[in-house]
Structure 1
Amino acid sequence: MAVPDALEKDSLFSPFQSITVSVLSAPLFFIATHNVMQIFTAAVPPYHCQSNLTLVPKDPCTRFISLLANDTEPCKQGEREYNLSLYTSTIISEWDLVCEREWMKELAQSIYMAGVLFGAMLYGPLADRFGRRTVILCCLLQIASMGTSAAFSPNFSAYCVFRFMTGMGICGLVINDLGLTMEWVPKKYRPTVSIIQGTCLTLGQLVLAGMAYAITDWRWLQLALSLPFFIFPILIWWVPESYRWLALKKRSQHALWSLNRAARINGEKNGTFITLEMLTHENNENAPRRSSSATPLDLFRTPSMRKITIGLSMSWFSSSFCFFPIAMDIQRFGYSLYLMQVIFGCAELPLRILSTLMAAYVGRRFSVSLFLVFSGVLILCSLAIPADLLLLQMSFTVLAKGFLGASIVCAYLYTAELFPTVLRQTGIGFTNMMMRLGAVVAPLAMMTKAYAPFLPLVIFGTVPILTGLPILWLPETLNSQLMDTVEEVEARHQKATSEKKKELEFGTKL
């Protein structure tokens, strides 16, 4: 096919590809800052209940009524005093989210994750219908406006609504930003681009630590991390729409303009080797076998698509199910939150680079499976570490989180290559929905601590192992062209099945 091969002669360092990857990667620096922002904006300062008596009970949610009888009573809302020496203001101190209202802190993060989940459901199909670039621009403006509004929230309810809307935009931006980048990059450079964009996502954790250290008021921190998203639409406006999507939508003239623009920027005076006649002929030739109106149901309609969707959904679910509880629970180690955030962020960088190198030279499916299984094994091994060896526990936790992050980076690359163009963003959106569902369900697993302190770690260690192994039965996409239609995916599956049958028959004859 001429269209899929259009960019294969270009280098990643060709001007057009370099600018496109740089511009689309820039917003990713601030994605992690919003995902785990509540580590700092919802940090719990030391507090105690106001009392006329000099002694303070061990339980900060109560106060003494009488020292002689050692009687206490619950502290009412608004009667608590917070030590704001480290944090000038957090949502905890401002809205008194402790003691009987402690659950509201977790509710705020769950509502944000629910917004991310809803964004995956909404913006994947919309991108396949209206274009990747259009949805990216809308999501950037949504993050900017809703994130800024959250900084001026008059109460907790408004804060949760704005965070929900911000989460929707964050997910829509990520899945379409990565998808559009992959569709403009030659296949041999996709792993390199995955390293670049995965590194941007990881460095966002370091950006968050630095800005949180400099800005100790949660409203100003929220504002500082949201305002840059007003600038990014200006940059993204330069990036053209995916020529693959345009060609499949029979907008051949626009696709040709985008390809010729890329060629001119790369210094090719004669344009590309694609002409309008070639695009039109290809559209007419392939029209009978192309899904004219692909829907999310097509993810499950055929055997190969069903196998791909279920397998990837399981891996995405387990990655998030284990990643976010580990990432959000760093306060339990007792060290500075800023230091822990930097350590966790830095530990992920080499593992994410390693994972992408493995994906480039060993294979996508093996890399995703291996890192999921490794993370599960590390979590289970941490159960055997004595409670007093806190540093060793932290080391195992950091490595487990790093392997989960590495698996996520490989999974983004693998998912974008497995799904066909007509369903690529729908597929990425659905698997991301399963990823966010894992983050929403994870607190339920944490509640099992009430029955046995070790039970959450057993669950978080077992799930990635069980979901990582089935990935090995999915197709490998190393050095493969992107599929454009469901029919091409099924043809690949049938070809692979027939080759396996021939190998089995040949082995039986021997």
Structure 2
Amino acid sequence: MRFEDIIPYLGDFGKFQKIQLFLLCLPIWVTGMHALAMTFLAASQEYRCFVPGWDDYSNKTGSLNYSLIFPTGEDGQYDRCNIYAVNVTRGVWYTIPDNTTATEQCNQWVYDTSQYKTSVFSQFNMVCSRKFMNNLAQSMYMAGMLVGAVVFGDLSDRFGRKRLMFISQIIQVMSGIGLAFAPEYITFTILRFMLGAAHSGVFLPAFVIGMEFVTPKGRTMAGICPHIAFAIGYCTLALSAYLIPYWNWVAFVIAVPDLLFLIYYWDKIIPGSARWHLQNGHKEKSKDIIKRAAKVNNKQIPAKVLDELEPDVKHNAHVLAMMRYPRMRVRGFIIFYNWFTVSLVYYGLSLSTSKLPGGNDYLNLSLSGIVEFPGFLFCILLMDRLGRRPCLCMSMIFCGVACIGAGVIPILSPGGGLDWLVITLSMIGKAFTGSAFVLVYNYSAEAFPTVIRNGVVGVSSMFARVGGILAPLVNLMGDYTHSSVPQIIFGIIPLIAGGLALLLPETNNVPMPENLEQGEQFGLPGFYDVKRMSMSLKEAEGDSQTSDENSDLSDQGPRKVTNISDDNSDTTLEPMLGTTTEI
């Protein structure tokens, strides 16, 4: 008996599943704060060049004459990176050169501390030729997520999901607290990289463990809950920054909760992954976790059922094997592009909230998190009714149109009278990126055969991390070109992704393919046979040996597959179980 066959005995979504999911979402809430922390840790402050003899003298007379000190650009704004070669002694204008066109670069700056008392923006002078440093530090966080997904993903398969989640929490709390005391930029950036790696090590195992004990009916909600916790992290971060205007203390405060979650190492709090224990020969440990779940849910599992529990037989192929199959290859590239897109736009919009009109960073970031909830509701209500493909297409297109609108309006109406509309459209775009993230997770797990499913999700995650790395750099383009350029880019790319999504086959209420040949035939008329879609789990399990034999043929390249609608077909498919737990 497979692990999947035990789950119905525990109930669809009982007390045990709800408690475990809630506890697992708490560390994800902290990763949500760390992911967007640069919005406030490196909050932009108004600044100007430091004027020697004026800013370092307390008994000044008169006021600073900007026109005599700072060059003026074509836009009429005073230059904040260069200064005229003036001579000010003891707060008094001593010499003003006749040739006021002679300028020199500033090496010190004065910052406005009315809103943010301290910021790494001012502490590390992330201005002028060093303005890239802010975005680079955030890109390093995303690079850490990429490395963490690869390294911790492999280690969690070897040593256990809970164990790697615990180690990642230790790294996260140590890096987070260390960040608060970072003395210079390089140390700060290295610690942000480590936080990004820990992010993947916390989020992915928690997501998998939370999905493990729910039936198909409960998996939609169980898959959305971690994203909800992540969005709540935004709001908590904004509140913390509002109450604490010092970046060091903000970094410290958002890192401290992880200390509490170290108690998760105790098995009575989080028992761990029963599936992993079963697959790795710890059958008694797996049975103990299952019995505990049944007890909490007031369910009874027959002893005979537990005794017959056996590990799933694995027939894995390398993910690159799908490149030999034309239809599956195209499907893979479309999904990879959608992952790249949703991560690029999601983090791009989240990190640019401080640049939205209105100037209220706290409110804008809070709204950025809150608006994701309508996106989650969109998934809950429609993804099982309309299907994954149309919902993914709509999410991407609605996001793209909203972002383009938010970018074009400031160009057409430069006076700022439509700032409210720019913010509204940006938030609509953010809402649909939240729903798109949920949808690409589901689709990637359902549209590819079992033998490469883990590999496809892993490669997809890598493309997403590339998008996350580029997101701050796209935002940086607005500083060198026009402020609307990032928004327009965040609009065009999802439109392309939405159009490509129409080429994907639907996965809702469709059996998941098992081997590479079935993966190639997925979406063709023969695959959607009504008889096969209505197969009972027992019948599918009875024929699973034949399916395993077919999977052994996957190394022989594309071949014609017997139509699965034929009663004499020797190809067996597992009924679609929603989002797989093999993520």
How does the TM-score come out when normalised to structure 1?
Answer: 0.86
**1:369 and 1:472 in contact (8 A); partners too:** yes
Find the aligned partners of 2:368 and 2:401 in 1 and give their Cα distance.
Answer: 19
Show the counterpart of 2:362: 338
| Per-residue Cα deviation, 1:280-312 (whole angstroms, up to 9, x for no partner) | 4xx5xx74xx326x6565676777875664333
Structure 1 stretch displaced more, 187-196 or 469-478: 469-478
Q: Does 1:148 align with 2:177?
A: yes
C-alpha change, 1:307 and 1:246, in structure 2 (3 Å) is farther
**1:125 and 1:296 in contact (8 A); partners too:** no
| Per-residue Cα deviation, 1:349-403 (whole angstroms, up to 9, x for no partner) | 2222222322233323332222012111222334542233222122111111111
Find the aligned partners of 2:291 and 2:398 in 1 and give their Cα distance.
Answer: 45
**1:6 and 1:272 in contact (8 A); partners too:** no
Q: Does 1:112 align with 2:141?
A: yes
> Could you tell me how far 1:335 is from its partner in structure 2?
1.8
Partner residue of 1:325 out of 341, 345, 348: 348
> Could you tell me how far 1:416 is from its partner in structure 2?
4.4
Structure 1 stretch displaced more, 295-304 or 79-88: 295-304
C-alpha change, 1:143 and 1:427, in structure 2 (3 Å) is farther
C-alpha change, 1:89 and 1:249, in structure 2 (3 Å) is same
Show the counterpart of 1:378: 402
Show the counterpart of 1:62: 82
Structure 1 stretch displaced more, 429-438 or 247-256: 247-256
Find the aligned partners of 1:191 and 1:357 in 2 and give their Cα distance.
Answer: 10
Show the counterpart of 2:339: 316
Partner residue of 1:459 out of 489, 499, 523: 489
Find the aligned partners of 1:425 and 1:142 in 2 and give their Cα distance.
Answer: 25
> Could you tell me how far 1:319 is from its partner in structure 2?
0.7
1:36-75 to structure 2, matched below 5 A, reads 36-51=36-51, 52=53, 54-56=64-66, 57=70, 58-66=78-86, 67=96, 69=98, 70-71=100-101, 73-75=103-105
**1:128 and 1:422 in contact (8 A); partners too:** no
Show the counterpart of 2:581: none
Partner residue of 1:174 out of 203, 209, 214: 203
Find the aligned partners of 2:433 and 2:65 in 1 and give their Cα distance.
Answer: 46
C-alpha change, 1:99 and 1:72, in structure 2 (3 Å) is farther
**2:450 and 2:515 in contact (8 A); partners too:** no
Find the aligned partners of 1:2 and 1:27 in 2 and give their Cα distance.
Answer: 30
Show the counterpart of 1:94: 123
Q: Does 1:412 align with 2:441?
A: yes
Structure 2 gap segments, 5+ residues each: 55-63, 71-77, 87-95, 531-562, 564-583
**2:25 and 2:226 in contact (8 A); partners too:** yes
* Partner-residue secondary structure (3-state), 1:361: coil
Q: Does 1:367 align with 2:391?
A: yes
Structure 1 stretch displaced more, 378-387 or 411-420: 411-420
Find the aligned partners of 1:261 and 1:496 in 2 and give their Cα distance.
Answer: 40
Q: Does 1:4 align with 2:33?
A: no
**1:416 and 1:424 in contact (8 A); partners too:** yes
Q: Does 1:260 align with 2:291?
A: yes
Q: Does 1:274 align with 2:305?
A: yes
Find the aligned partners of 1:233 and 1:416 in 2 and give their Cα distance.
Answer: 30
Structure 1 stretch displaced more, 371-380 or 231-240: 231-240
Find the aligned partners of 1:239 and 1:307 in 2 and give their Cα distance.
Answer: 40
| Per-residue Cα deviation, 1:63-116 (whole angstroms, up to 9, x for no partner) | 343346434634543x32222221121111212221222221121111111111
Structure 1 stretch displaced more, 266-275 or 119-128: 266-275
C-alpha change, 1:265 and 1:418, in structure 2 (3 Å) is farther
**1:374 and 1:403 in contact (8 A); partners too:** yes
Structure 1 stretch displaced more, 349-358 or 15-24: 349-358
* Partner-residue secondary structure (3-state), 2:384: helix
Q: Does 1:358 align with 2:382?
A: yes
C-alpha change, 1:118 and 1:187, in structure 2 (3 Å) is same
Find the aligned partners of 1:468 and 1:405 in 2 and give their Cα distance.
Answer: 14
Find the aligned partners of 2:358 and 2:384 in 1 and give their Cα distance.
Answer: 39
Show the counterpart of 1:508: none
| Per-residue Cα deviation, 1:409-429 (whole angstroms, up to 9, x for no partner) | 232344445567776655444
* Partner-residue secondary structure (3-state), 1:40: helix
Find the aligned partners of 2:523 and 2:126 in 1 and give their Cα distance.
Answer: 56
> Could you tell me how far 1:447 is from its partner in structure 2?
6.3
* Partner-residue secondary structure (3-state), 1:231: helix
* Partner-residue secondary structure (3-state), 1:63: strand
Find the aligned partners of 1:242 and 1:189 in 2 and give their Cα distance.
Answer: 18
Q: Work out the number of aligned pairs and report it.
A: 492
**1:2 and 1:274 in contact (8 A); partners too:** no
**2:10 and 2:294 in contact (8 A); partners too:** no
**1:24 and 1:236 in contact (8 A); partners too:** no
* Partner-residue secondary structure (3-state), 1:4: helix
Percent of residue pairs bearing the same amino acid type: 28
Find the aligned partners of 2:394 and 2:289 in 1 and give their Cα distance.
Answer: 39
Find the aligned partners of 2:205 and 2:321 in 1 and give their Cα distance.
Answer: 19
Find the aligned partners of 1:38 and 1:114 in 2 and give their Cα distance.
Answer: 15
Show the counterpart of 1:499: 526
> Could you tell me how far 1:168 is from its partner in structure 2?
0.6
Show the counterpart of 2:579: none
| Per-residue Cα deviation, 1:327-363 (whole angstroms, up to 9, x for no partner) | 2222322421112112222222222222232223332
The one-letter amino acid paired with 1:459 is: I
The one-letter amino acid paired with 2:468 is: A
Find the aligned partners of 1:416 and 1:20 in 2 and give their Cα distance.
Answer: 22
Structure 1 gap segments, 5+ residues each: 506-510
**1:116 and 1:171 in contact (8 A); partners too:** yes
**2:13 and 2:218 in contact (8 A); partners too:** no
Partner residue of 2:248 out of 193, 197, 219: 219
Find the aligned partners of 1:488 and 1:181 in 2 and give their Cα distance.
Answer: 26
1:279-298 to structure 2, matched below 5 A, reads 279-280=309-310, 283=311, 287=313, 290-291=314-315, 297=320
Find the aligned partners of 1:270 and 1:391 in 2 and give their Cα distance.
Answer: 57
> Could you tell me how far 1:133 is from its partner in structure 2?
1.9
**1:3 and 1:244 in contact (8 A); partners too:** yes
Show the counterpart of 1:470: 500
* Partner-residue secondary structure (3-state), 1:81: strand
The one-letter amino acid paired with 2:293 is: A
Show the counterpart of 2:157: 128
Show the counterpart of 2:33: 33
Q: Relative to total residues, which structure has the larger helix share, 1 or 2?
A: 1
C-alpha change, 1:376 and 1:489, in structure 2 (3 Å) is same
Structure 1 stretch displaced more, 296-305 or 456-465: 296-305
How does the TM-score come out when normalised to structure 2?
Answer: 0.76
The one-letter amino acid paired with 2:371 is: A
Q: Does 1:208 align with 2:237?
A: yes
Structure 1 stretch displaced more, 342-351 or 438-447: 438-447
